[in-house]
């Protein structure tokens, strides 16, 4: 037995640790429990935690199978619990290997809601913040974890679909134990019964990475903190011979202890290492997977290499494994592997954990009817829709067999937190900007959402918004907003700036619409605006009016883009129209209408066609600045309407007719190359005479990527009438 010097690091980035959760479910009747109670040698397999390095466990298990060892018990911690839990349920090593090699795990841990299902209200302001943290009664506080685990838990539920009736983990094809840590007491939690996804989720709940999980009024975090190599637990199950496989990290030498993080990890690892050494002494055969020094716990992208290392180590121990197999009287049973989940006839739907949504509202959102046959695909599509709803933090499901009838349990964790959000953006034309946003639920009265927002930078914006939806689950709401905005507006003649002024707007609006619908938004309202122009240069060249006004408006939106930045699928249609007239006692007469339609079509993996049309039409001799058509300038409703080769404000006009077409290539994950062509007319007076020589053409080439800081994009463009342009954008638009 080798001497252990490896350690477990509690702060590894184990958000990738549910690597193996996306396979199909197991047919639990395919083979019997493999424990041979009467055999003189009952073997327990012990698998340690280690993040992505736990992929190597698969290679070692392959060697154990090749040697003919019958595994009677499995205990695991963290990543070891995931691999061990899947194997205990019946997954073959070949299936585990296929999962590792064929899946991208970045998306699994993002807990990103599907944009197509979020409300229109949220679509108007999504993808803007870098950071979102709770606001408690004592001020801003840190969240309990970076990852809530929605996607992980959903996949765990899918995985255990055909095992919903099993509550005693001894009844699995191979008896299984997962180890977690009780967060309140610091004691170990040996999970041998209950709902298997709960046990696995608890064992992988790395503090500060995953939010803790609550099971029967106890709060659990990662078991590696208390016992990263659970040999004793395999013995307690009934094993009289244990094979322990360790993939954890070693203590760092002094040359690497040069940062706050490395020192903190090292000090916390002392206690963990002591426990690992004690557990190692209990093991009958110890396998240390060496060659992992250059790997981190988040290296899921190097899965092929980790599998090879595991196989290599397994082959080194193959002869010893064969000797162990010869000591057993009974050979391992045949493992047919995973089978597809079978639809189940659901006799009852039980909603749990809801306090603000009524059961009927949630069941209506899910679209389930008792007496229907459901499978994981159907349930998860509806779960995804519910998870994307306003005020929902997590949605978990499980199916329970009660006397031969299947009951679907939906557990809702509601999001009742007030939040503070921070956004940051840099553009080479407008420099840096910062977004500060605070949202409060039920601040003024029940059934309301109040937001305070500030945009600091070259363009200043302060906004207070109050949304009153009254009944939770209602899709209609009243929205009132007060806004202050200041920016320096430049007026162009060709490539030359001929005028400039500070434009200050104070406006308020009241509207009603189905803001919380996920499909079509239709809203009607009234707006009152006050405008002031100051620091005017060449006043006679300023074309917008500074007179006050009030206007009626209507908005329509249908946004089905899969994301705002670099979408690879979906369509978006936006329309808004304002009318100011003396009939409604406004001092000035004008109208302004905008229409934008965008479609993104995925042709193949990594190739998207994108096309758009954009029309702007206005009437009236006096038109306030906010109603001019200005390409490449952010609009709170229309977002940014691009035209290559022009500065912001350079093409400001009363009327516009623009079309664009292009392709987007994704050669690597979340890296994009775009090539677009634009054609447009920017007119003082609307006409459809396309024979005139006033059509501008432009082309742009872009390179972009999605990062933790938001999208980063470099754009090179040139138009028929204007100069060559280079743009650099870093961060979400706001």
Which is more confidently placed, 37 or 581? 581
Q: Which helix (H) or strand (E) holds 221?
A: strand 218-222
CA atoms within a 13 Å half-sphere pointing along the CA-CB vector of 679: 7
pLDDT confidence of residue 472: 54
- Is residue 171 over pLDDT 90? yes
pLDDT confidence of residue 152: 87
User: What is the length of the chain?
Assistant: 734
Task: Please report, rounded to a whole number, the percentage of residues in the chain having pLDDT higher than 70.
Answer: 93
The rounded radius of gyration (Å) of the Cα atoms in the chain is 30
Distance separating alpha carbons of residues 46 and 60, to the nearest angstrom: 12
Distance separating alpha carbons of residues 670 and 440, to the nearest angstrom: 33
Distance separating alpha carbons of residues 417 and 391, to the nearest angstrom: 9
Q: Can you read off the two tokens belonging to residue 426?
A: 């840099």
Same fold, 344-414 and 419-731: no
- Is residue 395 over pLDDT 50? yes
CA separation, residue 110 to residues 142, 192, 210, 486, 501 (Å): 18, 29, 11, 36, 44
Which is more confidently placed, 200 or 251? 200
| Average pLDDT, integer, range 608-632 | 95
Q: Tens of pLDDT along 470-516?
A: 665 578 999 999 999 999 999 999 889 999 999 999 999 999 999 98
Q: Where residue 11 falls among pLDDT bands split at 50, 70, 90?
A: very low
Lowest mean pLDDT among 68-72, 290-294, 348-352, 353-357: 353-357
Q: How many CB atoms lie within 10 A of CB 623?
A: 20
Closest listed residue to residue 245, CA positions, set 93, 19, 45: 45
Lowest mean pLDDT among 144-148, 149-153, 166-170, 240-244: 144-148
Give me the DSSP letters along 147-188.
Answer: E--HHHHHHHHHHTGGGTT--BGGGSSS-EEEEEEETTT--E
Q: In this structure, what are the phi and psi dihedrals at residue 117, rounded to the nearest 5 degrees?
A: -105, -5
Distance separating alpha carbons of residues 343 and 356, to the nearest angstrom: 31
Which is more confidently placed, 404 or 49? 49
Q: Can you read off the two tokens belonging to residue 343?
A: 């639809």
Closest listed residue to residue 710, CA positions, set 120, 126, 211, 123: 126
Lowest mean pLDDT among 134-138, 530-534, 626-630, 693-697: 134-138
Q: Can you read off the two tokens belonging to residue 430?
A: 């407008």
Closest listed residue to residue 56, CA positions, set 320, 308, 318, 319: 308
Which H, E and C letters describe 6-57, residue by residue? Answer: EECCCCCCHHHCCCCCCCCCECCCCCCCCCCCCCCCCEEEEECCCHHHHHHH
pLDDT confidence of residue 35: 43
Task: Please report, rounded to a whole number, the percentage of residues in the chain having pLDDT higher than 90.
Answer: 63
Q: Which helix (H) or strand (E) holds 93?
A: helix 93-102
Q: Where residue 38 falls among pLDDT bands split at 50, 70, 90?
A: low
Q: Which helix (H) or strand (E) holds 134?
A: strand 131-136
Q: What's the fold here for domain 344-414?
A: Ubiquitin-like (UB roll) (3.10.20)
Give me the DSSP letters along 548-593.
Answer: -EEEEEEEEEEE--S-SSS--SEEEEEEEEEEE-GGGT-SS-EEEE
* Pairing of the two strands 590-604 and 570-580: antiparallel
Q: Where residue 138 falls among pLDDT bands split at 50, 70, 90?
A: low
In CATH terms, the superfamily for domain 43-111+163-328 is Cytosolic phospholipase A2 catalytic domain (3.40.1090.10)
| Average pLDDT, integer, range 401-411 | 90
pLDDT confidence of residue 426: 95
Q: Tens of pLDDT along 301-321?
A: 899 999 999 999 999 999 999
Distance separating alpha carbons of residues 673 and 566, to the nearest angstrom: 10
Alpha carbon 248 to its chain centroid, in Å, reads: 28
pLDDT confidence of residue 37: 53
Distance separating alpha carbons of residues 548 and 531, to the nearest angstrom: 6
Distance separating alpha carbons of residues 336 and 152, to the nearest angstrom: 25
CA atoms within a 13 Å half-sphere pointing along the CA-CB vector of 477: 25
* Pairing of the two strands 405-414 and 710-719: unpaired
Q: Where residue 219 falls among pLDDT bands split at 50, 70, 90?
A: very high
pLDDT confidence of residue 595: 97
Distance separating alpha carbons of residues 83 and 181, to the nearest angstrom: 19
pLDDT confidence of residue 612: 97
Q: Where residue 597 falls among pLDDT bands split at 50, 70, 90?
A: very high
* Pairing of the two strands 590-604 and 607-619: antiparallel
Considering the chain, what is the average pLDDT of its residues? Answer: 88
Distance separating alpha carbons of residues 617 and 475, to the nearest angstrom: 31
Distance separating alpha carbons of residues 363 and 13, to the nearest angstrom: 36
pLDDT confidence of residue 30: 33
Domain locations along the chain: 43-111+163-328, 344-414, 419-731
Q: Tens of pLDDT along 427-453?
A: 998 889 999 999 998 888 888 999 999
Distance separating alpha carbons of residues 25 and 158, to the nearest angstrom: 7
Q: Where residue 29 falls among pLDDT bands split at 50, 70, 90?
A: very low
Q: In this structure, what are the phi and psi dihedrals at residue 147, rounded to the nearest 5 degrees?
A: -115, 125
pLDDT confidence of residue 253: 74
Q: What residues contact residue 474 under an 8 Å CB cut-off, 6+ apart?
A: 516
The class level of CATH for 419-731 reads mainly beta
Q: Where are the beta strands (DSSP E) in 514-548?
A: 520-537
Q: Judge contact between 31 and 333, C-beta under 8 A.
A: yes
pLDDT confidence of residue 256: 72
pLDDT confidence of residue 162: 82
Q: Where are the beta strands (DSSP E) in 457-548?
A: 460-468, 477-493, 496-513, 520-537
Q: Where residue 100 falls among pLDDT bands split at 50, 70, 90?
A: confident
Distance separating alpha carbons of residues 602 and 348, to the nearest angstrom: 40
Q: Can you read off the two tokens belonging to residue 678?
A: 């634009």
Distance separating alpha carbons of residues 169 and 176, to the nearest angstrom: 6
Closest listed residue to residue 320, CA positions, set 46, 63, 91, 76: 63
Burial-class residue 306 by CB neighbours within 10 Å (0-12, 13-18, 19+). buried
Distance separating alpha carbons of residues 70 and 56, to the nearest angstrom: 20
CA atoms within a 13 Å half-sphere pointing along the CA-CB vector of 448: 14
């Amino acid at each position: 037995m080798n001497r252990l010097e490896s350690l477990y690091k509690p702060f590894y980035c184990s958000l990738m640790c549910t690597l193996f959760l996306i396979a199909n479910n197991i047919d639990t009747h395919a083979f019997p429990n493999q424990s041979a109670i009467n055999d003189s040698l009952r073997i327990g397999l012990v698998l340690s935690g280690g993040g992505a390095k736990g992929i190597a466990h698969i290679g070692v298990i392959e060697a154990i199978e090749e040697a003919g060892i019958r595994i009677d018990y499995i205990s695991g911690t963290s990543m070891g619990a995931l691999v061990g839990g899947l194997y205990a349920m019946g997954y073959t090593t070949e299936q585990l290997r296929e999962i590792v090699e064929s899946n991208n795990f970045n998306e699994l841990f993002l807990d990103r809601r599907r944009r197509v299902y979020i409300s229109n209200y949220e679509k108007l302001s999504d993808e803007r913040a870098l950071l979102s943290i709770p606001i408690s009664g004592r001020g801003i506080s840190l969240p309990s974890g970076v990852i809530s685990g929605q996607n992980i838990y959903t996949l765990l539920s899918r995985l255990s679909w055909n095992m919903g009736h099993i509550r005693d983990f001894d009844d699995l094809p191979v008896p299984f134990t997962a180890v977690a840590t009780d967060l309140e007491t610091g004691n170990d939690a040996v999970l041998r019964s209950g709902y298997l996804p709960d046990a696995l989720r608890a064992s992988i709940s790395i503090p500060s990475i995953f939010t803790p999980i609550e099971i029967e009024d106890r709060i659990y975090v990662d078991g590696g903190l208390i016992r990263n190599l659970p040999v004793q637990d395999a013995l307690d199950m009934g094993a009289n011979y244990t094979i322990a496989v360790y993939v954890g990290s070693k203590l760092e030498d002094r040359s690497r202890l040069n940062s706050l993080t490395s020192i903190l990890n090292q000090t916390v690892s002392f206690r963990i290492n002591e426990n690992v050494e004690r557990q190692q002494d209990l093991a009958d055969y110890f396998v240390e997977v060496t060659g992992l020094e250059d790997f981190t716990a988040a290296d899921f992208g190097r899965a092929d290499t980790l599998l090879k290392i595991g196989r290599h180590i397994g082959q080194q121990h193959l002869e010893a494994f064969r000797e162990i197999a010869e000591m057993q009287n009974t050979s391992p049973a045949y493992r047919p592997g995973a089978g597809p989940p079978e639809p189940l006839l659901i006799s009852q739907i039980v909603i749990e954990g809801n306090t603000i949504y009524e059961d009927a509202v949630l069941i209506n959102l899910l679209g389930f009817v008792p007496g229907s046959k459901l499978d994981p695909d159907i349930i998860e599509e509806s779960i995804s829709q519910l998870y994307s709803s306003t005020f929902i933090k997590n949605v978990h499901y499980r199916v329970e067999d009660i006397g031969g009838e299947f009951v679907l349990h939906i557990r809702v964790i509601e999001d009742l937190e007030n939040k503070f959000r921070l956004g940051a953006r840099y553009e080479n034309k407008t420099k840096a900007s910062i977004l500060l946003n605070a949202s409060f639920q039920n601040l003024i009265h029940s059934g309301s959402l109040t937001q305070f927002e500030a945009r600091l930078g070259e363009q200043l914006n302060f906004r207070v918004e109050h949304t009153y939806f009254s009944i939770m689950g209602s899709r209609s709401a009243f929205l009132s907003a007060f806004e202050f905005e200041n920016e320096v507006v430049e007026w162009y003649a060709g490539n030359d700036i001929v005028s400039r002024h500070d434009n200050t707007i104070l406006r308020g609006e009241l509207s009603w619409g189905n803001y919380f619908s996920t499909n079509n938004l239709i809203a009607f309202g009234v707006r009152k605006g006050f405008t002031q122009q100051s620091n005017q240069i060449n006043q006679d060249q300023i074309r917008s009016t500074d007179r006050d006004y009030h206007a009626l408006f209507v908005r329509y939106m249908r946004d089905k883009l899969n994301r705002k930045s670099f979408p690879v699928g979906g369509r978006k249609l936006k329309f808004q129209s304002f009318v100011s007239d003396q009939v409604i006692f406004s001092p000035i007469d004008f109208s302004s209408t905008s229409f934008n339609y965008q479609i993104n079509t995925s042709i193949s993996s990594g190739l998207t066609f994108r096309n758009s049309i954009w029309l702007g039409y206005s009437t009236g001799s006096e038109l306030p600045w906010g109603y001019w058509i200005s390409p490449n300038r952010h609009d709170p409703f229309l977002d940014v309407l691009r035209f290559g080769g022009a500065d912001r404000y350079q093409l400001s006009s009363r009327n516009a007719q623009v079309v664009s077409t292009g392709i987007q290539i994704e050669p690597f994950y979340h890296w994009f190359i775009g090539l677009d062509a634009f054609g447009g007319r920017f007119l003082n007076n609307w006409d459809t005479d396309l024979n005139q020589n006033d059509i501008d053409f432009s082309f742009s080439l872009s390179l972009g990527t999605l990062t933790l800081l938001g999208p980063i994009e470099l754009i090179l463009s040139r138009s028929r009438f204007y100069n060559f342009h280079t743009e650099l954008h870093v961060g979400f638009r706001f």
